[in-house]
Structure 1
Amino acid sequence: MTSEITINNKIAFLSLMLISGLGFSQVTDSIPDSQMELHEPVTAMAMETDKDTVNDFKKIKLDGVAAVVGDYVILDSDIDKTLIDLRNQGASTQDVTRCSLLGKLMEDRLYAHQAVQDSILVSDDEVNATSDRQIQSLVAQIGSMDKLLRFYHKEDEASFREELYKINKLRMLSEKMQQKIVEGIEVTPEEVRQFFKKIPEDERPVFGAEMEIAQIVKSPQPTAAEKQKAIDKLNTIKADIEDNNASFSVKAILYSQDPGSKSNGGAYSITKQTGFAKEFMDVAYSLQQGEISEPFETDFGYHIIYCEKIRGQERDIRHILIQPEISQKVLDNARKELDSIRQGIIDGKFTFAQAALNFSDEKETKFDGGLLRNPTNFDSRFELTKMDPTLYNQVRNLKDNEISQPILEEDPRGGSPKYKIMKVTNRYDEHVADFSKDYLKIQELALREKQFNTIKKWMKDHIEDTYITVNAENRDCNFANNWVKE
């Protein structure tokens, strides 16, 4: 970035860079429905580019090439696709220029090119597992593979997977290179202090209104009889598959209660890095190809797993989830227990923190007075404008020292429902950054600046050492980096 950028602008850029990872266009494992606008395909392929060696550069029509970075060619069409992707994701493109998009695409290719030079590896298993998760998520959202192929204007699944493989390979190489550049970077308290001191008073960041929230949770448990019913049902399904050659896929569609895989026959492709429950992964990797597990339990319920195929460290599996039923009586008892706890706090028999420690079923919060932690930075404060909408709606009408009535909350991941009571323990008005009160936030900004400067220096050094050429039509761009090497 140029030296004219103010500290506040730099902070804004750093936040964008670290939130977006690779920047403007990424394929994620889950794409919200709000991005799926059917009038024009969401360009999940927006970062696609053909990887050609510089020796093959002459074979490509010259006016179709925007730039070459090391072994990667960026076509004019790549810029167009990235712009479409931005619009489909609802981002404002008013101030986005082709030059800025080209510069970002060149950065991504430089990271990926150098990753290869530094022998940073991304295995086929990793890439394929990522692609499989993305496809499973997209199929679940759109409805079927046929609809997905029509949506992306692809003739068959093989060509779709090939294209997605190229995108994910480049993205993952780029991410690993960026992680390597900034790994181990830390800031000392003195560096944080110096960072804050150099910000002019009239340019110090303003932090929005925040609150701290505590909760006490009761998680109703199914009875032993209901658990056994789930196990018996899975054993019956397993026996029908093994003894009568019934289809595991069909059984999953009919009976599984996993919303993420039910529609595609319970199918998942996993590696040992897949973030499933430990019990689930242990069973999946204990099976031989063609084997079906015995019923086993996780926090989500009871499962059986069928190991369909083994490819090195990757497994193609199918599973069926049955959740033991929690009776209305058990739910009502949990609500009544929370009513009693709430009244005890109001009557002064114990504090909210004491009640959380003694009565809450939520291990993550009970030992900290029920205090929730912000998942973005593990701070106890939640900025109102950035809060999860569901959480915000649960507490927005609570007054100081008021305790909510019991709230029934469904588990979005498919687990059992739970009841909770909530309290806003502290409120913080919008304010200009204060070193003592906002140290953690300032520390994070100082770390981001140090990472930014490290990446900036890395980029400058490697641009000088890498074969780069920019099409004549793009040489007048005011790039942030010295791509034209003037």
Structure 2
Amino acid sequence: MNKCKFVRTCVCLLLLCVGVSAYGQDNVIDEVVWVVGDEAILKSDVENERLNAQYENRRFEGDPYCVIPEELAVQKLFLHQAEIDSVVVSDQEVLQQVEARTAWLIDQIGSKEKMEEYYNKTSTQIREMLRENIRDGLTVQQMQQKIVGDIKLTPAEVRNYFSKLPQDSIPFVPTQVEVQIITQEPKIPEEEIERVKAQLREFTERINKGETTFSTLARFYSEDPGSARRGGEFGFTGRGELDPAFANVIFNMTDNKKISKVFESEYGYHIAQLIEKRGDRVSFRHILIKPKVDEKDINAALSRLDSIADDIRKEKFSFDDAATWISQDKDTRNNHGLLANPQTSTSRFEMQQLAGLVSQDLAKVVEGMQIGEISKPFTMINAKNGKQVCAIVKLKNRIDGHKATITEDYQRLKSIVTAKRSEEKLQKWIVDKQKSTYVRINPNWRNCDFKYPGWIKK
């Protein structure tokens, strides 16, 4: 152990025995509750994790003051090994997740001020806390991947694993569907587009005259609910995370005192303001206004889709061909309208996934359909961009809910066995690492039923 680590360990041990007091005063500011190797776990660390878990409605199997310190201790084991193995995560990756996490917290809690009140910290202190936690979390993930390695399974191994499972332990696969879609966007009159552009130009003029701020207008008028409550502000974002038209404008901006010209993306029309550039990432504000769709234009699109559906039923052309040549859904028309599930990289959706990833309206229509049936035209809100579109769908396939089988669900079962093997490798590593790692637990924090009993050495 080098001199620096030796001193740090001695300090941890001293604090573990006497607590941390404020310049000799009686009130205790913080307390070391565990020492793992040469790293201390503070009571404040445990409290921060408990607050996060409370806000995220996480339930603990046991006393949080036993579960959380042990989880942090396990993390310390991985971090110590990562230091030995020189496992490093990039600052850019950490920053990206800090910005995303901060934005999520503000969005969930309601405002930056409420977030600061909830954590009893300034936003700078919260970001610093997040930076440390996220860096540690990413480092642990990389270390775990290194320990687990590439697990290769044969079909025979997967079959063998599930052949030994009791019937009541075989996983149940919910009903899944495969759906093809044809969409038409209702035509928006030019005068409505001009109205939206004029409104955004007026916002720019008011900001430039100093009558108001970009943030104020975004809060009142932007139709992007996620960023509007933050004054239109996005966290640091990479080019690939943005709509291409949006990215072209944002990444060409250089002056944070200027407002962009009005521009269009797949979401609607925007103006934007650069906040800061850091390498290949930018932070910015924007205001989104969506042109209003007239009822007569919706009806016209529905009528056209009704005619297309009739022609398909009369076999004038196939649904596949219509999706390829007529549909305005750019994500599916090159695949004959077949929707792809981004979570599984397949065309199968559980109904809950279909509602959350594509559209609740679409899921309601599909639920009562028969295989091969073509729906009546309907309107739906696209979950991706929030736009109202008109659609018809064909139920290509339905796989009813069932207990998993090797023939029907091999990939799902393989992933379960892979996860099980990974968990077994990690648990064995933790048990072995405990034996060679110095651990000291504050006597007041020892009365626990730990998941890994080897913390307290006899």
1:123-202 pair list within 5 angstroms: 126-150=93-117, 152-154=118-120, 156-181=122-147, 185=150, 187=152, 191-200=154-163, 202=165
After superposition, where does 1:302-321 map in structure 2 within 5 Å?
Answer: 302-311=269-278, 315-321=282-288
Matched, 1:58 2:30: no
Matched, 1:203 2:166: yes
Aligned equivalent of 1:111: 78
1:238/1:292 contact within 8 Å kept: yes
Structure 2: which amino acid aligns with 1:210? T
Q: Deviations over 1:436-480 (max 9, x none)?
A: 322222332343244334534554565455544445553874534
C-alpha spacing 1:274/1:71, structure 2 compared with 1 (3 Å): farther
Q: TM-score, normalised by structure 1?
A: 0.74
Between the aligned partners of 1:250 and 1:80, the Cα distance in structure 2 is: 35
Secondary structure of 1:395's match? helix
Counterpart Cα distance in 2 of 1:399 and 1:377: 24
Contact 2:372 2:394 in 1 (8 A): yes
| Paired amino acid for 1:60 | L
Structure 1 residue 419: deviation in Å? Answer: 1.7
Match for residue 418 of structure 2 among 447, 456, 462: 447
1:208 CA displacement = 2.6
- C-alpha contact 2:12 2:38 (8 A) present in aligned 1: no
Contact map agreement 1:338 1:406 (CA 8 A) in 2: yes
Task: Report the Cα offset of residue 57 of structure 1.
Answer: 0.6
Summarize the alignment of residues 425-436 of structure 1 with structure 2, pairs less than 5 Å apart.
425-436=396-407
223-232 vs 435-444, which moves further: 223-232
Structure 1: 5+ residue runs without aligned partners? 1-51
Contact 2:274 2:284 in 1 (8 A): yes
Matched with 2:451 is: 479
1:213 and 2:178 aligned: yes
Deviates more, 1:132-141 or 1:460-469: 460-469
**1:361 Cα offset (Å):** 2.0
How far residue 287 of structure 1 moved from its aligned partner, in angstroms, is 2.0
Whether 2:247 is the aligned partner of 1:286: answer no
Is the CA contact (8 Å cut-off) linking 1:296 and 1:303 kept in structure 2?
yes
Alignment partner of 1:326 out of 280, 290, 293:
293
Number of paired residues? 431
Alpha-carbon offset, residue 165 of structure 1: 3.5
Distance 2:194 2:145 in 1: 47
Partner amino acid for 1:375? P
1:216 and 1:420 in contact (8 A); partners too: yes
**How far off its partner does 1:418 sit?**
1.1
Change (3 A) 1:424 1:108: farther
Alpha-carbon offset, residue 337 of structure 1: 1.6
State the superposition RMSD in angstroms. 3.7
Structural mapping, 1:382-397, within 5 Å: 382-383=349-350, 388=355, 390=360, 392-397=363-368
The Cα shift of 1:435 comes to: 2.2
CA separation of 1:285 and 1:368: change in aligned 2, threshold 3 A: closer
**Deviation at 1:270?**
0.9
Q: Distance in 1 between matches of 2:438 and 2:239?
A: 35
> Structure 1 residues 481 and 270, CA, compared in 2 at 3 Å: closer, same or farther?
farther
Partner AA of 2:155 in structure 1: V
Cα distance, 1:124 vs structure 2: 5.4
Give the distance between the partners of 2:201 and 2:101, measured in 1 at CA: 31
Check whether the contact 2:276–2:282 (CA below 8 A) recurs between aligned residues: yes
- Aligned counterpart, 1:222: 188
Contact 2:204-2:259 within 8 A present in 1 as well: yes
* C-alpha separation in 1, matches of 2:15 and 2:400: 58
1:73-130: CA deviations, max 9, x gaps?
A: 2345655665665565445545677655443332223333434444444455654553
Q: After superposition, where does 1:243-262 map in structure 2 within 5 Å?
A: 246-262=212-228
Q: Secondary structure at the match of 1:110?
A: helix
Q: What amino acid is aligned across from residue 264 of structure 1 in structure 2?
A: R
Indicate the percent of aligned positions where both proteins have the same amino acid: 28
Q: Is the 8 A contact 1:289 1:309 kept in 2?
A: no
Task: Indicate conservation of the 8 Å contact 1:216/1:370, yes or no.
Answer: yes
Which residue type is aligned with residue 321 of structure 1?
L
Change in Cα spacing, 1:381 to 1:89, as seen in structure 2 (3 Å) is same
CA change 1:387–1:409 in 2 (3 A) is closer
Q: Which amino acid aligns with 2:114?
A: K
CA distance in 2, matches of 1:436, 1:225: 57
**Residues 87, 93 of structure 1: 8 Å contact kept:** no
Q: Hey, what does 1:47 align to over in structure 2? A: none
Aligned to 2:329: 362
Q: 1:289·1:310 contact (CA, 8 Å) conserved in 2?
A: no
Residue 262 of structure 2 contacts residue 271 of structure 2 at CA under 8 Å; is this kept in 1? yes
Mark the CA change 1:211 to 1:308 in structure 2 (over 3 Å): closer, same or farther.
closer
Q: Which runs of 5+ in 2 are unaligned?
A: 1-6, 20-30
Deviation, 1:223, is 4.3
Structure 2 residue matching 1:445: 3-state secondary structure? helix
